[in-house]
Structure 1
Amino acid sequence: MADIRTIDQLQDALDKEMSWRLKEVVAFSVASKANDPERRYFIRAGVALLYAHWEGFVKNSSELYLSFVDGRGLNYNQLKSCFSVFGLKSKLQMLAASRQSQTNVEAFDFILQELGSKARLQLGSAINTESNLTSKVFSNIATSLDINLSTYSSRFNLIDESLVHRRNKIAHGEYIDIGGKEFGELLDDILQIMREYKTDLENAASTEAYKR
């Protein structure tokens, strides 16, 4: 992943991340509305594809935002705690797991000493969708980036039942009954959530919401 050092770079990267996904799912939406028996195949494939873009966009856009925050060159103590955790997680995990006093003291001293140094966020493994981006997993990712969940909570059932549950049934070779109109509505709703998440990340970057 390229370094993201400016808001313009972040916005450009997020725009590209959204645009190619939008073109692909819209193509399936058009095919699903065709008046022929084969449209049900496009609808099934479209649900699976829509889920793939939902998971892919949330993961990649979150990583782009983290790359931007990492590129700010701030110290750990200048960042909100949720971002500092991405750089100090290994030591925090050591504190949580170890029963050895000396190990715990060393880990805690390391954290104290590092707070005034430049943050180095561990981007490679930072965002985990668990290959099953339910509302719970999405909430965990958004919270880790200090993104407010209040505007998303009313659509958690949509994510879990209308998208993720159907995708899982398709992935396991099970039959699902969904018409072209219902698929079109699902597509519009999920794309809207993706757009809102993109906007939230852009706003967080422009307002420096990552700072303590």
Structure 2
Amino acid sequence: MTIIDELTADLDWRETELALMKVFLQRRDFSPKQHEVLTRAAWSLLYSHYEGFCKFSLTLYFENIANTQKSCIVLPAKTKTFAMTKEIKRLKNLPAEDFISSLEQFTNGPIACAPEFPDVDTKSNLWPNVLEELLEYADIKCPAVDHNRQLLKSLVTSRNGIAHGEKIFEEITKYQAMENAVYQVLYELAFAIETRLQNKPFKAEDDAQGCLFDFL
């Protein structure tokens, strides 16, 4: 199964759940109170699929890189930084002499090995700036995030209020606008991931030597 097949399959079941929820929202045999409860549930479900797909797709993306690249050297600077997160933290905590010694061995050590990425951390509140930081590490552009920034912020804010037991009720018309924004981001992200993996240095092993300190 290709990465686009996996992304499509994951999107399919999420879209099915959201579509079923919308069917319930459009029923006329529910009382206003029942509709209010359903709308709150729909808001929470929409956020869960927004965060869930972003985390799933970026995790899949980094796993693909880790499984196909033999060295961190060829990675884009930000992706290299992400891959070396654990090692950079270790270096920062070393005494001066050990730090210098580790640097002297660096080109033949961690940076020459296959990348090992940390978990994709959405921080349980996937604000647009959090997603943009992850996209920078991935060396992926997704303009839909910035284009829908205010709607995504509103989604996270309302979801947090609902999750914390606040009496928040959003109109169904606002939910529709929010759902459209989320789909724009998810579709564009899936396409951007598939496209990025079709280009260097991921399409084929690139033997060009990266700069040792371009991520420090």
Identify the TM-score tier after normalising by the shorter chain: 0.7 to 0.9
Which residue number in structure 1 is paired with residue 49 of structure 2? Answer: 53
Q: Which runs of 5+ in 2 are unaligned?
A: 211-216
Which residue number in structure 2 is paired with residue 17 of structure 1? Answer: 10
Compared CA separation, residues 82 and 110, structure 1 to 2 (3 A)? farther
Name segments (4+ residues, structure 1) moved above 6 Å.
none
Take 1:142 and 1:94, find their aligned partners in 2: how far apart are those partners?
24
Which residue number in structure 1 is paired with residue 171 of structure 2? Answer: 179
Question: Are 1:94 and 2:94 matched, yes or no?
Answer: no
Take 1:140 and 1:166, find their aligned partners in 2: how far apart are those partners?
22
Take 2:181 and 2:86, find their aligned partners in 1: how far apart are those partners?
37
Question: Are 1:132 and 2:125 matched, yes or no?
Answer: yes
Q: Which moved more, 1:132-141 or 1:81-90?
A: 81-90
Compared CA separation, residues 108 and 12, structure 1 to 2 (3 A)? same
Counterpart among 153, 160, 173 of residue 146 in structure 2: 153
Q: Which runs of 5+ in 1 are unaligned?
A: 1-7
In structure 2, give the amino acid aligned to 1:133: L
Secondary structure, aligned partner of 1:147? coil
Q: TM-score, normalised by structure 2?
A: 0.84
Take 1:167 and 1:116, find their aligned partners in 2: how far apart are those partners?
40
Take 1:173 and 1:115, find their aligned partners in 2: how far apart are those partners?
46
Take 1:136 and 1:73, find their aligned partners in 2: how far apart are those partners?
28
Say which one has the larger Rg: 2
Q: TM-score, normalised by structure 1?
A: 0.86
Which residue number in structure 2 is paired with residue 40 of structure 1? Answer: 36
In structure 1, give the amino acid aligned to 2:97: Q
Question: Are 1:76 and 2:72 matched, yes or no?
Answer: yes
Matched residue pairs, number?
Answer: 201
Secondary structure, aligned partner of 1:78? coil
Shift of 1:209: 5.7
